[in-house]
Amino acid sequence: MMHDATIHPSALSDILIKNAYLVDPIQGISGERVDLCVSNGVIVDAVSEHAIVIDADGALTLAGGIDSHTHVCGTKVNFGRYMSPEDMRAGRTARRGVMYPTSGYTVPTTYGNSYRYSKMGYTTLLEGAMAPLEARHTHEEFAATPLQDMAANALFDGNWNLFEAAQQHDYRQAAAVIAWVLRAVKGFGVKLTNPGGSEAWGFGDDLASLDESVPHWDVTPREIIDTTIKANEYLDLPHSVHLHCNNLGMPGNYTTTLETMDIPSALNDRRQTLYMTHIQYHSYGGSTWRTFRSESLAIANAVHNHPHICVDMGQVMFGRTMTMTADGPMEFRLYTLHHNKWSNHDVELETGSGVIPVYYDRKNLVNSIMWAIGLEMALLIKNPWQCLLTTDNPNGAPFVKYPEIIALLMSAAYRDEQIATVHPSLGKRAPLPTLDRELSFEEIAVMTRAGQARALGLIEEGKGHLSLDAAADIAIYPIWPESMDPAAEYEDIISGFSQTLYTIKDGVIVCRDGKVVQKIENKTFWSDAYVPPQYDVEKNPRFVEMFDRFYSVQFRNYAVQDEYVRRGHPLVRTGKWDTEGGG
Amino acid sequence: MTEIPEAFSFSHTKQPSGGVHDGVVTDVLCPFCGCLCDDIKVTVTAGTITGVENACTLGAQKFLADTGRLPKPIRRDEDGWHEISYDEAIEYCVEILKNANRPLLYGWSSSLTEAQAIGVHIAELIGGVIDSTSTVCHGPSILAIQEVGHPGCTLGQVKNRADVIVYWGANPTDAHPRHMSRYSTYVDAYFMHNSFRDRKIIVVDVRRTATADIADEFLQITPGGDYALASALRAIVRGRDDVVPAEVSGISKVQMMQVAEMLKNAKFGAVFFGLGVAMTRGKYKNVRNAIELVDELNRFTKCTITAMRGHWNVYGSNEVFTWISGYPYGIDYSRGIAYYNPGETTSADLLARREVDAAVIVGSDVGAHFPRACCEHLASIPTVLIDPYPSATTHLSTVQIPTAVNGIDAEPGTAYRMDGIPLQTRQVLPCTTHFTDYEIFSRIYARLKEEKGA
């Protein structure tokens, strides 16, 4: 199968962006006019006289957006599409120039995701959950999401080989398993979704606490989380363990979340030691749906006391959306509440998953509290580097709602206007109406790109900032910070963040005024972590036996071939094997 | 890898690639059914397959009885069939698609996802309809899933856990011969000491099939009785056996109570259903009812349901079509957007309404499986068959373009198993004379882009 590389006309041209109002927290630039020079896909200090000149005229200019937790590609995402022709009809567009037709509103087709993210200035996406056994599917969809660089977290929450290492608290063995799987499936990070719970769901059960043993396995979620974090840091992976806590969505689950935060000590000085995703879903008080309340204050305080933890919001926005997660038992509980169509897909020896459409109703008290909690987390957590902006797309809302969330965070007036439309008892159950913090452009830049770049370990890859030699991933928004008050002009914030003037990816103008103008090819980040020969799991008879006897595919057919990651970008790590005498 | 390259470089003669001339290839994917068994061992002697191990009869025949391939593209005129070159055949295909008002691209289940993806883009480019064999197979099951969802799992999950297995309207002994030994009834389980003895098998069918012979409970229902039986079982599972009459669809209440009890007491129940459920009276409503029975059982224990997908990579076609267009089959691009309305935009309906004015059939035998009216219409329009072997459809076609066989001599590519697991094929034989369907569609797409100035 032969291919010629795409030739990008603008890739051959230098670009000079004059009068950019640059906000770049990684460089410590909180808003000043600069000229940006782009050549050969990166930021340089001077361009040729033939450069394309863009006069930004003081428009807000940021590094390309990064989504550190989104569901856009792979088995369960595609199942969301497959089972929902009504959603496909809700968001269709025809071919326009180089843009293919798209379908879908909450779960758009791959090109739909790519175009809409690009229009919002996003250039890098982390698929939050990939079942290793089905990795080829994720990579096939990555190739059809061309305007963003991609990476996938591989799921380990029900991995039998990891369980056996965790039983022994053997983080070196766990590291060997993790490194092997990441290389085999071209995964980027380590995802734990309801650790142990997805295995229990194999027989229709779930786990209620961190110290309950996984049925048949004599290992607890606490041991799984602890061992995995130590293994992750031992391998020195770019990203930390990416955790979806146990008991998601249960009233009173905030205690589990607080206990989880106490598991790791700080093990990494470049970034967090633990990334806790969609924190909104894990910050619930009360003991039933009737007594359901926000515990955002307790969680935010704990985040302050654990500077080695980073969370993302998992913001809920009102309206129809699709939930999808590897947390199979949670989806079944949701099904028993909503009686909507329910899909489930357990993956042997590895994980589970579920998909169910939901409608978040602003007149419903529980939904109103959920909406409030996400915003409360972002407003209560003082350090924006510790709380990133997500909706757990599409679980809380489709990502096209991000501009509204930004406006809610930047404008107390807009929040008050919205609070007036939700359930009137909100204030008795959630502190949101009492919060008056309004985030700055700099804080928003942290929460939508700089913080993600740090959390994912991609600053060194030139992501999330526009320093010299950084990737020329640039978003120029029709927002003029020098002459506007975002707290008052929140409508302009929403429209401004919804559609860039220019989105530039690797030095190529890919999207202009909402229209994709150039086809490009993306790359896929994956983690290539060293393991010494004596820890090579392929020589471990128990590991091989697991495959031969209990998987339903052959060992030799498991690993994803190079064809699936044609523009794979391995992040090579040597780990701590030598320094700690492990190898 | 289903990438759509922006430019192709072509050779007008097939460049020999891969495979072995003499030797043994192991861990080969079987190219026959949706089980996609990937442990086949194939022996090649002097460029011919001489031995196949681990495969079932159907799979082994696919490798061993690989005779009668069409050597070169052929075209029919007043004097009958004539051999033509690949270049001529591809130009003919481009010509009819370019000039068509209502082109149909049908088949795709023997193709790799790489070729399927290009198919969708061709359909989009020419404003045509693309449809897969699902339309005459598990299409109704997909409609049911679109109504109520699908509680499923990978087959390894069934293998390691299922202690109660139901085959409903499916006869794996004949249609998916290794399904039971590789994924369900007979295979070793992690969580059972003696899995064969510990598993209970329930078979629901209108006749005593070979699969029924090994069942612990055989429910021989009256034809068309699937829906009522599922309703009765749902009522019993919900504790409303009081509304169930003494006999439903030919099954006694006593037996139904017994079966419901087995399902509720299972540690892990796995239901597999075939076209006996999806393509009998009631169609997608039968499947919906079976899925809702499984939903109900999950309130008591673990239970999953899986369609016995027949045609090799048919599930891949649903997956690829969905991530590109949003819909699993029957996609109409005639208005510039992707539009899906089974019954309107599906092949048999389009052909019966005589709307189609050019057709490309790939890896599927329409002539043997579609209603007569559809075949008559196909025979009256320019129809290109892209298939390694002559078939009944050849007689309806104006041109046939033979391809390498995916999974035998075609270069490696992707196929999806019936449970959604994607695997890469292995090339057994060198590919020396025939282009693959991927290569042919790549060329057609590139040429159509030129013609359309896209």
Q: Does B54 touch chain A (CB under 8 A)?
A: no
Average pLDDT per block of 10 residues along chain B, 454 residues long: 61 80 97 97 96 97 92 95 97 98 98 98 98 96 98 98 98 96 94 93 97 97 98 98 98 98 98 97 97 97 97 98 98 98 98 98 97 98 98 98 96 97 96 93 96 86
Q: Which residues contact B193 (CB under 8 A, 6 or more apart)?
A: none
On whether residue B102 sits in a domain, the answer given is yes
Q: Are residues B354 and B287 part of one domain?
A: no
Partner residue facing B157 (CB), from A332, A343, A348: A348
Check residue B14 and give its pLDDT.
79
Partner residue facing A101 (CB), from B188, B267, B338: B338
Which of A73, A186, A553, A565 to substitute to test the interface with B, most B CBs within 10 Å? A553
Q: Does A328 touch chain B (CB under 8 A)?
A: no
- Do B323 and A552 make contact, defined as CB atoms within 8 angstroms? no
Q: Are residues B393 and B408 part of one domain?
A: yes
Residue A5 has pLDDT above 60, yes or no: no
Check residue B186 and give its pLDDT.
93
Q: Are residues B270 and B170 part of one domain?
A: yes
- Neighbouring-strand partners of residue B384: B360, B399
Interface of A with B in 397-436 (CB under 8 A): none
Domain around B175: 139-307
Residue A6 has pLDDT above 80, yes or no: no
- Do A137 and B422 make contact, defined as CB atoms within 8 angstroms? yes
- Token pair 């709380």: residue: A387
Of the candidates B274, B289, B307, which is a domain's last residue?
B307
Share the mean pLDDT of chain A: 96
Q: Are residues B402 and B369 part of one domain?
A: yes
Model-level pTM? 0.97
Residue A10 has pLDDT above 60, yes or no: no
Check residue B15 and give its pLDDT.
75
Of the candidates B307, B332, B360, which is a domain's last residue?
B307
On whether residue B38 sits in a domain, the answer given is no
Give me the sign of the Cα torsion angle A398, A403, A407, A409.
Answer: positive
- Do A561 and B424 make contact, defined as CB atoms within 8 angstroms? yes
On whether residue B56 sits in a domain, the answer given is no
The secondary structure of chain B, three-state, reads CCCCCCCCCCCCCCCCECCCCCEEEEEECCCCECCCCCCEEEEEECCEEEEEECCCHHHHHHHHCCCCCCCCCEEEECCEEEECCHHHHHHHHHHHHHHCCCEEEEECCCCCHHHHHHHHHHHHHHCCEEEEHHHHCCHHHHHHHHHHCCEEECHHHHHHHCCEEEEECCCHHHHCCCHHHHCCCCCCCCCCCCHHHHCEEEEEECCCCCCHHHCCEEEECCCCCHHHHHHHHHHHHCCCHHHCCCEECCEEHHHHHHHHHHHHHCCEEEEEECHHHHCCCCCHHHHHHHHHHHHHHCCCCEEEEEECCCECCHHHHHHHHHHHHCCCCCEECCCCCCEECCCCCCHHHHHHCCCCCEEEEECCCHHHHCCHHHHHHHHCCCEEEECCCCCHHHHHCCEEECCCCCCCCCCCCEEECCCCCEEECCCCCCECCCCCHHHHHHHHHHHHHHHHCC
- Do A88 and B183 make contact, defined as CB atoms within 8 angstroms? no
Q: Comparing A139 with B17, which gets the higher pLDDT?
A: A139
Check residue A11 and give its pLDDT.
55
Check residue A437 and give its pLDDT.
98
Q: Are residues B287 and B188 part of one domain?
A: yes
Residue A4 has pLDDT above 60, yes or no: no
Check residue A451 and give its pLDDT.
98
Q: Are residues B217 and B125 part of one domain?
A: no
Check residue A271 and give its pLDDT.
98
Domain boundary assignment for chain A: 9-63+461-516
- Neighbouring-strand partners of residue A293: A285
DSSP H helices, A318-411, are 328-338, 365-380, 402-410
Size of interface A-B (CB pairs under 8 A): 215
Total domains in the fold of chain B: 2
Q: Are residues B411 and B398 part of one domain?
A: yes
Q: Collapsing DSSP states into helix, strand and coil, what is residue A570?
A: strand
Check residue B7 and give its pLDDT.
56
What CATH number is associated with residue B158? 3.40.228.10
Which of A519, A557, A561 to substitute to test the interface with B, most B CBs within 10 Å? A557
Q: Are residues B226 and B151 part of one domain?
A: yes
Q: Are residues B418 and B341 part of one domain?
A: yes
On whether residue B36 sits in a domain, the answer given is no
Residue A1 has pLDDT above 50, yes or no: no
Measured in angstroms, the CA of A202 and the nearest CA of chain B are apart by 7
Check residue B27 and give its pLDDT.
97
Q: Are residues B354 and B225 part of one domain?
A: no
Q: Which residues contact B197 (CB under 8 A, 6 or more apart)?
A: none
Measured in angstroms, the CA of A521 and the nearest CA of chain B are apart by 10
Interface of A with B in 105-144 (CB under 8 A): 109-111, 133-134, 136-137, 139-141, 143-144
Give which of A320, A328, A353, A325 is closest to A104, Cα–Cα. Answer: A320
Q: Are residues B433 and B371 part of one domain?
A: yes
Check residue A3 and give its pLDDT.
35
Q: Are residues B273 and B150 part of one domain?
A: yes
Over the stretch A304-337, which tens digit does the pLDDT of each residue have? 999 999 999 999 999 999 999 999 999 999 999 8
Check residue B114 and give its pLDDT.
97
Check residue B3 and give its pLDDT.
67
* CATH top-level class of A9-63+461-516: mainly beta
